[in-house]
Amino acid sequence: MTIKIGEKLPEATFMHIGQDGAEPLSTADVFGGKRVALVSVPGAFTPTCSAKHLPGFKEQANALRGKGIDRIACVSVNDVFVMDAWGKDQEVGSDVMMLADGNGTFSDAIGLSFDGSGFGMGKRAQRYSMIVNDGVVEVLNVEAPGEFKVSSADHMLEQL
């Protein structure tokens, strides 16, 4: 069942590269006491994700912060080292926190995973964006398969 606006995110653990290397971060660590713009992509280094989705959030980081967003985070069902390398490749710096949902546990728990085995990709997260306020979903934008419209940074800015 897909998470809905007004619901609290489930407990989950992400992996992130911090100053001391790979470290686990809980849902509370990422979302507690903050208004977070979360963007989910089907895969690091994939065409739409690299050319449009993540770059849009990097480019609009200051505008999003100006509208009350405390943190921007990107999650994908990739390992922590791939997410870190992709963040460096995309030059997101401290503008976007790169979160690995390596086993898809978070994506499954919120009902937004899919089976990409037909494309040789295994389990993946759907393309979506959400605004999470202190762990509660405030805005949710889930794309139709193969689309890139409602989960963009520009669309999110229109909602703030």
Q: Which of 12, 30, 38, 49 is catalytic?
A: 49
Strands 13-18 and 21-26: antiparallel
Give a three-class secondary structure readout of 111-129: CCEEECHHHCCCEEECCEE
- 3-state SS class at 124: strand
Q: Is 74 a catalytic residue?
A: no
Between CA 62 and CA 145 the distance in angstroms is: 29
Which whole-number Å values give the CA distances from 87 to 16, 38, 84, 95, 147, in the listed order?
11, 15, 5, 10, 23
- Residues taking part in catalysis: 49
